[in-house]
């Protein structure tokens, strides 16, 4: 073995380092400033501790706080371990399990000592202070490799039953690492970690909440307490995150939905939305807009059954790959002998099975197969605002953002292979137009690649992935400006997919639009066309959506606009409010003229002060309030108050109607 290793650095230079040296040694050799700033390293692309020795010639990139993604991952991982150490220091006898980092922080699952109530929000301030003490102590974080049996013995001796159970299941012969925090606390972990707890900023984290959690996610197991925190690189980042959370709470679509009387949810229909008249007006307006855009883009609209035989889902592949997410139905009349069920089982268990459709694609293939298709018939763009059902876990449901019953703005485009690039370009252009019309000019495009479990040959996947990659490049959107990124393993079981992630007003991203290139389903369901050569060929099937689902997209829009929807989408576009009862007659005339102009308007002639009416309609997010009194009635004017504006404008009624009519016109009709 050589006594020297050649270490290649990102700037193209190299360093000759002695065997046994580490990235920390390289950082020190370059300069004391870098040695102090270094947090971890990437050796041949793998993120490792600064103290991990080189094993041969390698490429090296030192990680500092400027490498924000890596630095945040490391910091959040360490905050989780510091949390576990603090809890055990404060409450001896606490058992620890595991604690990963999350998208904005970390959590750790723990079990309170015997005889103590589970941890609560009241415990968090003391735990936070103990964590800060551990951070200020600047305890070194040191890696060791242990044997499986040594781990089992350690956890058993310490009364850590959960850790001991996990250690017993680890494979023999695998390199098992633990990390010491100083010389008095350790946890088993793959790492990597920061060099010491002092690399964390004690002012850059906050414990947020506690929740119940089951050991290993199984409700049959012991219940633990999950302590959640948010962690950042510095206090400025933490403060910005807490401000975003505060703003997000103000924008919560569930809160605004109630204030604006748009919808509600209740336990009698878990995961399904009860749309109120005003909420459904938003839906209808959005649906009408989307239908006009699809008509203009050459789509034909269809409607397919809600329930189909299980055999169809078996043939498509969904029964084997997706059945746990489907609502299945026995194809028989249930037992009706008596109301209390004592006459026997409700169903026999012998009937054939049917299922509520979780997606529309197999049914669209069945429509496509009606009649012989020629190469001249393609592309065929088949759209459906299809109501679907998916059996989501109760705990995963979230307002109208994640539901069990939803309506997709779904479409399937059947194309010849030579038409694919042009169809993807046309779809990207259509999606771009819709997103900008709806107020989302900022979005990113990702390519989700083949998952481990999939249908189809490697050659098919190679072609499908390359086709999407080339098609987006042909549109000029496979660039950093559009956030282009490839996501290994995240495609569907039958096709790779493009994902369109839009960014809302407070910087959150939402994956909405999708486009998938599928050659599997046409094969499985025997879709074909007659080519120019007179032979049968398989079409390529493009699965695509722009909004994703109406429910979720409306929820996103409510939060993006904080309820202040564009006038053309607002369920009530204007309210005519009187100052005095003498103006009631004029208010009725103004309301009638607004209705005649196509404005969604209400009148408010309640015997209330005008300031009360202004506050009330502002809370309901009405875009325009037209205030009328005796003077306005005499002069034929209105005092126009626009939501969010500081001052009202007095103008002739005809001018106000023209202004509102322009704003109330959907963008595709202007």
Distance CA(195)–CA(143), nearest Å, equals 10
For residue 324, the model assigns a pLDDT of: 85
Distance CA(544)–CA(426), nearest Å, equals 12
Name the DSSP letter for residue 375. Answer: G
348 pLDDT band, cuts 50/70/90, is confident
Percent of the chain clearing pLDDT 70 (strictly above): 99
For residue 249, the model assigns a pLDDT of: 92
- Residues paired with 649 in a beta bridge: 640
Active site positions, annotated: 361, 390, 408, 410, 412, 497, 543
Distance CA(186)–CA(141), nearest Å, equals 9
Q: Express each pLDDT in 113-143 by its tens digit.
A: 998 999 999 999 999 999 999 999 999 999 9
335 pLDDT band, cuts 50/70/90, is confident
One-character DSSP codes across 90-138: HSTT-EE----B-SSEEEEEEEPPTTSPPP-GGGHHHHHHHHHHHHHTT
Mean pLDDT value of segment 308-320: 85
Distance CA(592)–CA(577), nearest Å, equals 13
Mean pLDDT value of segment 76-86: 97
For residue 340, the model assigns a pLDDT of: 60
Q: Express each pLDDT in 440-467 by its tens digit.
A: 999 999 999 988 888 888 888 898 899 8
Q: Is the pLDDT of residue 339 over 60?
A: no
Lowest model confidence (mean pLDDT) among 31-45, 182-196, 315-329, 393-407: 315-329
For residue 333, the model assigns a pLDDT of: 81
Q: Where does residue 537 rank: exposed (0-12), middle (13-18), buried (19+ CB within 10 A)? A: middle
Neighbour tally for 236: CB within 10 Å: 12
Q: Is the pLDDT of residue 342 over 70?
A: no
Range from 170-174, 188-192, 325-329, 657-661 that averages highest in pLDDT: 657-661
Q: Is the pLDDT of residue 223 over 60?
A: yes
Mean pLDDT value of segment 75-99: 96
For residue 344, the model assigns a pLDDT of: 65
Task: Please provide residue 68's backbone torsions phi and psi, each rounded to the nearest 5 degrees.
Answer: -60, -40
pTM: 0.81
Q: Express each pLDDT in 582-618 by its tens digit.
A: 999 999 999 999 999 999 999 999 999 999 999 999 9
Q: Express each pLDDT in 143-199 by its tens digit.
A: 999 999 999 999 999 999 999 999 999 888 778 899 999 999 999 999 999 999 999
Lowest model confidence (mean pLDDT) among 134-143, 257-266, 473-482, 545-554: 473-482
Count how many Cα atoms sit within 13 Å of the Cα of residue 374 in the half-sphere of its side chain. Answer: 5
Mean pLDDT value of segment 71-86: 97
For residue 137, the model assigns a pLDDT of: 97
**Average confidence score pLDDT of the chain:** 92
Q: Is the pLDDT of residue 321 over 80?
A: no
For residue 398, the model assigns a pLDDT of: 92
52 pLDDT band, cuts 50/70/90, is very high
Write the CB contacts of 552 (distance below 8 Å, at least 6 apart in sequence): 400, 401, 402, 403, 406, 510, 512
Distance CA(603)–CA(601), nearest Å, equals 7
Range from 233-242, 353-362, 475-484 that averages highest in pLDDT: 233-242
């Amino acid at each position: 073995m050589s006594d020297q290793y050649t270490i290649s650095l990102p700037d193209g230079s190299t360093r000759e380092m002695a065997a046994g040296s580490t990235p920390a040694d390289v950082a020190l050799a370059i300069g004391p400033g870098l040695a102090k700033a270094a947090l971890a390293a990437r050796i041949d692309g793998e993120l490792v501790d600064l103290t991990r020795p080189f094993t041969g010639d390698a490429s090296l990139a030192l990680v500092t706080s400027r490498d924000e993604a890596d630095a945040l991952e490391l910091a959040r991982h360490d905050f989780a371990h510091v949390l576990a150490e603090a809890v055990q220091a404060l409450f001896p006898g606490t058992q620890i399990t595991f604690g990963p980092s999350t998208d904005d922080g970390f959590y750790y699952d723990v079990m309170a000592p015997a005889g103590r109530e589970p941890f609560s929000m009241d415990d968090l301030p003391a735990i936070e202070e103990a964590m800060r003490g551990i951070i200020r102590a600047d305890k070194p974080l040191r890696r060791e490799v242990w044997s499986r049996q040594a781990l089992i013995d350690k956890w058993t001796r310490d009364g850590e039953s959960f850790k001991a159970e996990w250690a017993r299941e680890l494979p023999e012969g695998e390199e098992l690492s633990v990390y010491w925090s100083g010389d008095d606390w350790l946890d088993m972990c793959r790492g990597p970690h920061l060099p010491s707890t002092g690399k964390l900023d004690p002012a850059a984290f906050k414990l947020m909440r506690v929740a119940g959690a089951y050991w290993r996610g199984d409700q049959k197991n012991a219940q633990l307490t999950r302590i959640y925190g948010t962690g950042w690189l510095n206090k400025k980042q933490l403060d910005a995150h807490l401000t975003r959370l505060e703003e997000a709470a103000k924008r919560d679509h569930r809160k605004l939905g109630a204030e604006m009387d748009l919808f509600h949810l209740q336990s009698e229909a878990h995961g399904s939305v009860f749309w109120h008249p005003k909420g459904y007006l938003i839906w209808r307006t959005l649906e009408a807009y989307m239908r006009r855009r699809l008509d203009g883009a050459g789509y034909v609209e269809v409607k397919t059954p809600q329930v189909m035989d299980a055999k169809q889902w078996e043939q498509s592949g969904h029964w084997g790959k997706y059945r746990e997410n489907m609502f299945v139905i026995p194809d028989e009349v249930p037992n009706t002998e008596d109301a209390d069920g004592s006459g026997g089982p409700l169903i026999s268990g012998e009937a054939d099975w049917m299922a509520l459709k979780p997606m529309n694609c197999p049914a669209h293939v069945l429509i496509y197969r009606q009649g012989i298709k020629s190469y001249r018939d393609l592309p065929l763009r088949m759209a459906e605002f299809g109501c679907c059902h998916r059996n989501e876990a109760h705990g995963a449901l979230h307002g109208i953002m994640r539901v069990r019953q939803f309506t997709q703005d779904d479409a399937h485009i059947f194309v010849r292979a030579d038409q694919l690039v042009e169809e993807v370009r046309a779809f990207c252009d259509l999606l771009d137009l819709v997103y900008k019309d709806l107020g989302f000019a900022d979005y990113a495009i990702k390519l989700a690649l083949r998952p481990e479990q999939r249908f189809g040959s490697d050659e098919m996947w190679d072609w499908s992935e390359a086709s999407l990659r080339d098609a987006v490049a042909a549109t000029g959107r496979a660039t950093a400006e559009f956030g282009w990124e490839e996501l290994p393993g995240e495609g569907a079981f039958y096709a790779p997919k493009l994902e369109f992630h839009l960014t809302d007003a407070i910087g959150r991203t939402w994956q909405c639009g999708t486009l998938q290139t599928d050659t599997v389903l046409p094969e499985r369901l025997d879709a074909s066309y007659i080519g120019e050569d007179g032979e049968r060929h398989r079409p390529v099937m493009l699965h695509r959506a722009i909004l994703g689902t109406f429910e979720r997209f409306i929820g996103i829009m409510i939060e993006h606009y904080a309820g202040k929807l564009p006038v053309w989408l607002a369920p009530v576009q204007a309210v005519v409010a009187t100052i005095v009862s003498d103006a009631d007659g004029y208010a009725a005339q103004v309301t009638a003229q607004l209705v005649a102009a196509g404005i969604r308007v209400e009148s408010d002639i309640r015997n209330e002060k005008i300031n009360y009416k202004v506050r009330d309609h502002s809370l309901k997010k009405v875009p325009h309030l037209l205030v009328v009194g005796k003077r306005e009635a005499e002069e034929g004017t209105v005092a126009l108050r626009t939501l969010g504006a500081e001052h009202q404008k007095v103008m002739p009624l005809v001018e106000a109607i023209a202004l509102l009519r322009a704003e109330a016109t959907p963008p595709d009709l202007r």
